[in-house]
Amino acid sequence: MKLTPRLAAIADLVPVGSVVADIGTDHGYLPVYLLSEGISQRVIASDVNKAPLDQARETVAALNCTHKVDLRLGNGLHVLRQDDNPDTVIIAGMGGRTITLILEEGRHKLAGVERFILQPMSEAGYLRLFLAQNGFALVHESLAMEGKRLYEIILAKPGKEMETDPFRLSFGPRLLEKKPELFPVLVRDKIRKLRIVYFNLQNARHRNMSEKIKTVEKELMYLEEVLAGAVERADID
């Protein structure tokens, strides 16, 4: 079974022998891949909606994985039971705020979980700030491109995040450190969005925007420097 680049980048972060909870599984491709490749020994796959869960059930049956997948209908981490003991929780393909809410509401279910693989479709910065302020370290971050869309994938573990600067934190501290291949694509996209914010702020009628404008100016300068450095490095490599 071949996964799309986004799902493959998520699967890459799952260790061999893991017990996985895939929250919001939809089609069920990830659980089936993890089992058929011998990466996971057992997967709890859930969805809040019945139609996607039925779809997952079909995928699981078609690939003869029924005995190793526990399909559950329900909201977020509430589907987890005391004896499930997943070591890995995957929450992918949802908005950053939804992922945050799922983690917040399901806090009491997370004892023993060693890693969280999170792939927000939006507001990745909001999710990162939540993680850092709530006892998670951002251990690794990667990028995947599908068509024209770039996806950010976060591997978080219980622990202390050492990055304290809010801008670097929301941007992705491990991305800034490691600068993976698709990093320039991400920075260019952030610069484009930040320029729109800058333009709108300058045209806003409120007088008390000057502090905010200065902050955005600084952020833009910082990202332009980061981009220049990343492009230069790619040229040398």
- Least Å distance, CB 129 to ligand SAM, is 20
Closer Cβ to ligand SAM, 8 or 48, answer by number: 48
List, in order, residues 6 or more apart from 226 with CB less than 8 Å away. Answer: 176, 187
98 contacts ligand SAM (rule: CB under 6 A): yes
Distances (CA, A) of 84 to 117, 121, 190: 18, 27, 39
Question: Crossing angle of helices 210-236/183-203, nearest 10°?
Answer: 160
Site stretch for ligand SAM (CB under 6 A), options 20-28, 144-152, 154-162, 204-212: 20-28
Q: Considering only 93-101, 157-165, 174-182, 213-221, which stretch makes contact with ligand SAM by CB under 6 A?
A: 93-101
Answer yes or no whether residue 94 interacts with ligand SAM by CB under 6 A.
Answer: yes
Question: How many residues touch ligand SAM (CB under 6 A)?
Answer: 17
Q: Quick one: CA dihedral 172, 86, 36, 55, positive or negative?
A: negative
Residue 118's nearest CA partner among 79, 157, 71, 168 is: 157
* Cβ distance to ligand SAM smaller for residue 22 or 161: 22
Q: Rule CB under 6 A: choose which of 3, 8, 19, 48 binds ligand SAM.
A: 48
> What are phi and psi for residue 140, nearest 5 degrees?
-155, 145
User: Which pair of tokens denotes residue 153?
Assistant: 């994938």
Question: Interface with ligand SAM includes 75 (CB under 6 A)?
Answer: yes
Question: Under the criterion CB under 6 A, does residue 127 sit at the interface with ligand SAM?
Answer: no
Provide the Cα torsion 160, 31, 150, 100; round to 10°: -40
End-to-end, the C-alpha distance of the chain in Å comes to: 33
Among 60, 92, 103, 230, binds ligand SAM (CB under 6 A): 92
Q: Of 32-40, 48-56, 130-138, 157-165, which segment contacts ligand SAM by CB under 6 A?
A: 48-56
Instruction: Choose which of 35, 39, 65, 76 interacts with ligand SAM (CB under 6 A).
Output: 76
Residue 40 interacting with ligand SAM (CB under 6 A): no
Kindly tell me which residue out of 35, 44, 60, 102 binds ligand SAM, with binding defined by CB under 6 A.
102
Q: Would you say the C-alpha torsion 72, 78, 84, 88 has a positive or negative sign? A: positive
C-alpha closest to that of 237 among 189, 181, 185:
181
Query: Which residue ranges make up the site for ligand SAM (CB under 6 A)?
Result: 7, 23-26, 46-49, 52, 75-76, 92-94, 98, 102
